[in-house]
Amino acid sequence: MISVDRGAGGATIYCMTRHNLPLAERLRMKSDRSDPDGCWPWTAASCRDGYGYLRFEGRSQLAHRLAYRIANGDFPDELKVCHTCDNPPCVNPSHLFLGTQADNTADMATKRRSTHGERSTSHLSEADVDLIHDLKARGATQRAIAARFGVNPSTVSRIVNGKRWVVKWETDHLRPL
């Protein structure tokens, strides 16, 4: 059950739990606000992808969405609450903004948090793969190559062993059956 107190300072949303604490207080208690301007990481329950959640209005809800709601008021369910800090546990309202799925995807691409290679699921371009082959041929370790490109050493191993990124020049000699 929810109670709304419309005092002089505006609306305060209360969640009727056994403690009858305002939602804002519950969020404060479950986040680390030691840096007023930095991220406020959620310290309670979280999903596999790092987003915090808590029970409110009879269901589990994402903590950063509730933090935005308390700071800015209600918003349509179809809108996303996005992070300027790209830190899923953060519930600092000054790090959050509303956007559509397209806005969130564009933000992710701008910050290069999405795949951005020439293949839809890759962070590497064909030029990167050519350079990986060249570096390996010149004696660089897979670990060093991986660090240079920001990928896992196993990715480099699969590339240099032809299990990933078989590029056109590697198949030119093949003829159709």
User: Average pLDDT by consecutive 10-residue portion of the chain (177 residues)?
Assistant: 51 54 92 93 89 91 96 94 91 96 82 53 75 91 87 86 59 43
From the CB of residue 26, how many other CB atoms can be counted at a distance below 10 Å?
A: 20
pTM exceeding 0.95: no
Q: Which two tokens stand for residue 49?
A: 């992808």
Q: State the pLDDT at residue 98.
A: 96
* Cβ atoms of residues 82 and 98 within 8 Å: yes
Provide the residue ranges of all domains of the chain, joining segments of one domain with +: 31-110, 126-166
Q: Which residues contact 144 (CB under 8 A, 6 or more apart)?
A: 135
